[in-house]
């Protein structure tokens, strides 16, 4: 029975996630091109967004590229970790970034739930994906605490499993023997990947990298911004929705 369940979770689920991700992202881009973004709510509330968004983005970037590096160049990671001090520093830094990511996610979820101005632009998928991300990060922190030196065993054990998935020759022998927390962490990653096309996370596929090197743009206001947003002015007939 466990063998059937493992095959479903670690063979069927990753392929289903990949298929839904590819088909879903293409369909959403074709059908709702102008909705292919994070649908920012910064205009409705910006203060708490800063304290949630900045820690979340910096933390998740570090964790994502940490996992990616262990997947792409596992032998280099193992060579780097052969020095105990380097391995210890890497594990501590990764653990700290995990806590930073968790803090940012909790702030974002609390902001979205507690702020009445955000309720009209919040749907069930927003709550679902943020709750799933929080669960995934908590699982990752627990894995880091209970199954030490994750950067090494990820490169040695999980990377060959992931390669076998991409090569269409799935080998789940190693992952089937992993602790329950590790299995749940892997399953959570597949579920997040599956939901990306249906959530705000789809904006990571269209990150405007060209903004980094493009020249600064100057914005000129011919009217006072305060007066423009004032419903009492002659040119404003109705009160702005975000006011």
Which pLDDT band, with edges at 50, 70 and 90, does 233 fall under? low
Mean pLDDT of 94-122: 89
Question: What's residue 211's pLDDT?
Answer: 55
CA–CA dist 109, 36 (Å, integer): 21
Structure confidence by residue, pLDDT tens digits, 165-183: 999 999 999 999 999 999 9
Query: Band of the pLDDT at 125, cuts 50, 70, 90?
Result: confident
What proportion of the chain, given as a percentage, has pLDDT over 90?
57
Where is average pLDDT lowest: 10-14, 30-34, 67-71? 30-34
Q: What class is the 2-210 domain?
A: mainly alpha
Q: How far apart are CA 155 and CA 161, in angstroms?
A: 10
- What is the predicted pLDDT for the residue at 243? 46
Tokens 């970034």 correspond to 97
Which pLDDT belongs to residue 159? 96
Q: Where are the domains of the chain?
A: 2-210
Q: Which DSSP string corresponds to 17-65?
A: HHHHHHHHHHHHHHH-GGG-S----TTT--HHHHHHHHHHHHHHHHHHH
The pLDDT score that the predictor gives to residue 235 is 47
Contacts of 203 (CB under 8 A, 6+ apart): 36, 37, 38
Comparing CA positions, the residue from 77, 100, 81 lying closest to residue 89 is 81
Looking at residue 199, its pLDDT comes to: 86
Instruction: Give me the mean pLDDT over the 110-114 stretch.
Output: 86
Scanning the structure block, which residue is given the tokens 């004032």? Answer: 230
Q: For residue range 198-214, what is the model confidence (pLDDT) as tens digits?
A: 888 887 776 655 555 66
Query: Residue 28 has what pLDDT?
Result: 83
């Amino acid at each position: 029975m466990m063998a059937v369940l493992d095959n479903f979770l670690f063979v069927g689920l990753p392929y289903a996630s990949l298929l839904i991700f590819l088909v879903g992202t293409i369909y959403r881009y074709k059908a709702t091109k102008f909705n292919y973004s994070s649908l920012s709510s910064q205009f409705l509330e910006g203060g708490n967004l800063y304290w949630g968004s900045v820690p979340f983005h910096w933390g998740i970037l570090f964790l994502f590229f940490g996992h990616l590096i262990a997947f792409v160049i596992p032998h280099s990671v193992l060579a780097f970790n052969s020095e105990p001090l380097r391995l210890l520093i890497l594990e501590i830094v990764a653990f700290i970034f995990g806590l930073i990511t968790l803090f940012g996610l909790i702030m974002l979820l609390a902001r979205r739930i507690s702020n009445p101005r955000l309720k009209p632009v919040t749907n069930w998928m927003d709550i679902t994906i943020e709750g799933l991300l929080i669960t995934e990060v908590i699982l990752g922190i627990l894995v880091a605490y209970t199954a030490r030196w994750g950067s090494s065993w990820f490169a040695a054990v999980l990377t060959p499993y992931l390669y076998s998935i991409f090569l269409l020759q799935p080998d789940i022998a190693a992952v089937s023997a992993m602790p329950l927390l590790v299995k749940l962490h892997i399953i959570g990653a597949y579920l997040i990947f599956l939901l990306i096309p249906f959530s705000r996370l789809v904006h990571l596929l269209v990150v405007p990298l060209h903004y980094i090197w493009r020249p600064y743009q100057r914005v000129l206001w011919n009217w006072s911004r305060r007066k423009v947003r004032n419903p009492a002015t002659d040119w404003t007939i109705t009160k702005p929705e975000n006011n």
